[in-house]
Chains A and B, each alone.
Chain A
């Protein structure tokens, strides 16, 4: 009894000491937490719009429940051909991004790491980062200048060589390729930063030892560098899988046009057009909620698999 009390007081004392020593660090945490609270948690109150008949003038707490025990809008969404198409396109485009876009920065980081001219490496790195800072509207402008069927630079060259224009932007299949390609172009440089940092953290002694054992460049890459950055790869892969159903808005919206809507309409652009422009707030909140729930499910599953495979996962 006594000892327990002592322990508690001791704990209290050590907590005080601990806080006195580290309070600044926790103070630093306050602002990001506040941000999450205001912009991520409070808005969640409005998730209930998905289950209710929305009206701008009523308080959301007083809105009547939608039909079918509140699930009317979910049923409506899954009966809607456009939504199903958008769902298919979202998954398809994101998988494509994952297959093409995910390995690109890893490969780039590995190659960059092998360069021995420091200055050249810096220049290449800087140039590769740059597209990340361009907005998609600007990238679409560039794409038009390069790929438009009659005024695009690439097609003008093809025409002058006596070849037909390639419909990079105005035919569905080509558009998907252009979409993926531009995505890789914008992100591989920036994405490689994390991997380069991870590579920098690998002990040089390992490489030296491998050299002594007679390992060549590829052997070192395969047996030292790649295993060294594997935890990073797994974490990023898990996070990528979590967003397989999510999609940023500006990229598909800026790149799409009326001729390729069958492959270009994704959930985010669908929600914008039907929800914000068409004023069907409940329907699109339901769609958004569905998207998030499936996203969380994917994230948990990917994390679980990663842990099963002996990696650390993200938590």
Chain B
């Protein structure tokens, strides 16, 4: 009897699950139909605006919609201590109010964690709940979704609504707007935000340690090595009881980034555009000629005890190494050109001064000479984050207007420096000095770059003022130290060019896998014994190549040759 009831129940469950599946498929079908309707609606809208070409969109009166439209915009959540809600604070209010007044568009922000942005955006896209305006640093993600039909082609909006988008065209220009335009089909899946400054990386050293040891800042690779030895040999003097915690040169698991100044000094400064491009899928320069020798030197230092032994155990976003820098255990490190100055009161230099004394601070040095004796800094083109609209965006025009609004020089300026007396002071020479804000005025990201999604780096309406202000833009940091870092970051800078030869198909979906393999090559080789170095490097690199690195390089070479023939340099 009981068995019978149970079997009835189970049968019932099965029937229900089947109807549920059926229902599911029905829903999927209808939502599919709905979205295709929406798609045709969009294309007719695009057609409509195409007719109105030149005069801006017919939907707009004085740049405003007749009825309030609403859009959602992605914003990074950095989860910093004492920060405000990234979707609701003084700056989001400013944007919401401005957009409503200027364009009659209501804006809502959607927070996405900064350090897992790609995963999160993937989930949102797959769930069809992605914000109307999405931002990511990862172009392959956009390409992959575009291939599935999940991304809107921006080309018609950029071109047809040119009259409605003066600020966007002014600021990004053809270079950035069409950076990713497909040479064959003319589609634009993403717009590249612009870097106001191309500064990339610097190497920093503890000035007070140099002073204590009566040393000059190193100017060559050899002097840098000697300095590391001097730090290690004098650990007792420099750190006292904490001598055993000293790390003369600290590099994290991301060796390709965190030793980039050194690695780049081993690359031929006169490298051809073609070779640079073919090896360019990986921005950590793993396969460039010379990188192996750079890592061999790191490996030597590692085995001599000059580097951090635990480097591989802490992942991306972990603050352990920052804490070591702040606590004063580290002699030198390489990072973003302004890394120790960022974050106001919580910056590495400010924290260091509180713990290790007034004169303790990191200053930038330029000591890795390349074979020409110069200090070439390979920096990417003036592109930053990539902005795209998922196909679920049914307000593409309103979204474009948002991008235009956020590119307005005055709006950028306000978001970056805020109110006078609250987030900045104006100095005698007109320069703007950033001060540590409190409460609602705290910026969750440096100069609010998470809101100024088309711009990264200080950009005031007045260009001269910008230059003067850069050095003053780090609360609590000596402007001279910033100026010095800025100058070094720009010494022998080699700006990357746009090689647009169409989609490299073998790159699709390979980003995360190859990044991990790249880190494995760097990490295992750097920490191998000196005798094993060659074997470890070669084997790990072979694995990287076989997993897709080789195919990408070959396709890049092929497409380059198809586009530029025998030329080694871009026209």
Contact = CB atoms under 8 A, between A and B. Distances in A.
A42 B17 contact: yes
B391 A45 contact: no
Contacts of B17: 37, 41-42
B1 A37 contact: no
Contact of B145 (A18, A56, A274): A56
A162 interface: no
A18 B32 contact: no
A148 B511 CA distance: 29
27 contacts: A14-B1, A15-B4, A18-B5, A37-B16, A42-B17, A45-B24, A56-B148, A57-B150, A57-B391, A59-B29, A61-B25, A81-B546, A81-B547, A82-B547, A149-B309, A151-B245, A170-B313, A258-B516, A259-B520, A259-B523, A273-B512, A273-B513, A274-B509, A278-B511, A278-B512, A279-B122, A279-B141
Interface of A: 14-15, 18-19, 26, 29, 33, 36-38, 41-42, 45, 54-62, 81-82, 144, 148-151, 159, 165, 169-170, 257-259, 261, 273-274, 276-280
Given A258-B312, A259-B523, 18 more contacts: A15-B1, A15-B4, A18-B1, A26-B5, A36-B13, A45-B24, A55-B148, A59-B29, A60-B28, A81-B546, A149-B310, A170-B313, A257-B315, A258-B516, A258-B524, A259-B520, A259-B527, A279-B122
A60 B9 CA distance: 29
Given A148-B313, A258-B253, A59 B512 contact: no
Contact of B5 (A19, A36, A54, A59): A19
A174 to B, nearest CB: 13
Contacts of A56: 125-126, 128, 145, 148, 150
Contact of A15 (B5, B122, B128): B5
Contact of B309 (A45, A57, A150): A150
A59 B245 contact: no
Contacts of B21: 42, 45
B173 interface: no
A169 B122 contact: no
Contacts of A150: 308-310
A261 B547 CA distance: 14
A274 B315 CA distance: 18
B516 A273 contact: yes
B148 A277 contact: no
Given A26-B9, A54-B148, A150-B309, A170 B527 contact: yes
A61 B520 contact: no
Contacts of B141: 279
Contacts of A274: 509, 512-513
B58 interface: no
B312 to A, nearest CB: 5
B187 to A, nearest CB: 16
A175 B29 CA distance: 49
Interface residues on B, range: 35 or more
A29 B17 CA distance: 16
Nearest to B36: A57
Interface string B1-35: 11011000100010011001100110011011001
Contacts of A18: 1-2, 5
Contacts of A54: 148
A81 B524 CA distance: 19
B519 interface: yes
Which of A14, A42, A258, A274 has most chain B Cβ within 10 Å?
A: A258
A235 B243 CA distance: 55
Interface of B is mostly: helix
B79 to A, nearest CB: 15
B149 interface: yes
Nearest to B141: A279
Contacts of B547: 81-82
Contacts of A169: 313
B24 A55 contact: no
A60 B309 CA distance: 49
Contacts of B314: 144
B420 interface: no
Which of A58, A59, A159 has most chain B Cβ within 10 Å?
A: A59
Contact of A148 (B32, B310, B509): B310
A311 to B, nearest CB: 22
B510 interface: yes
B35 A258 contact: no
Given A56-B145, A150-B310, A42 B119 contact: no
Sort A-B residue pairs by CB-CB distance and give the 5 closest, nearest first: A277-B512, A55-B148, A59-B28, A150-B309, A258-B523
Interface in B109-152: 118-119, 122-123, 125-126, 128, 141, 144-145, 148-150
A55 B119 contact: no
A149 B311 CA distance: 10
A78 to B, nearest CB: 15
Contacts of A258: 253, 312, 516, 519-520, 523-524
B32 A58 contact: yes
Contacts of B28: 59-61
Nearest to A54: B148
Interface in B506-531: 509-513, 516, 519-520, 523-524, 527
A134 B245 CA distance: 29
Given A37-B13, A57-B148, A151 B310 contact: yes
Contacts of A29: 9
Nearest to B516: A273
A77 B416 CA distance: 48
A36 B10 CA distance: 12
A42 B516 CA distance: 34
Contacts of A151: 245, 310
B115 to A, nearest CB: 13
A280 B511 CA distance: 11
A25 to B, nearest CB: 10
A129 to B, nearest CB: 28
A146 to B, nearest CB: 12
Contacts of A82: 513, 547
A280 B523 CA distance: 26
Interface in B300-314: 308-310, 312-314
A37 B118 contact: no
Contacts of A144: 310, 313-314
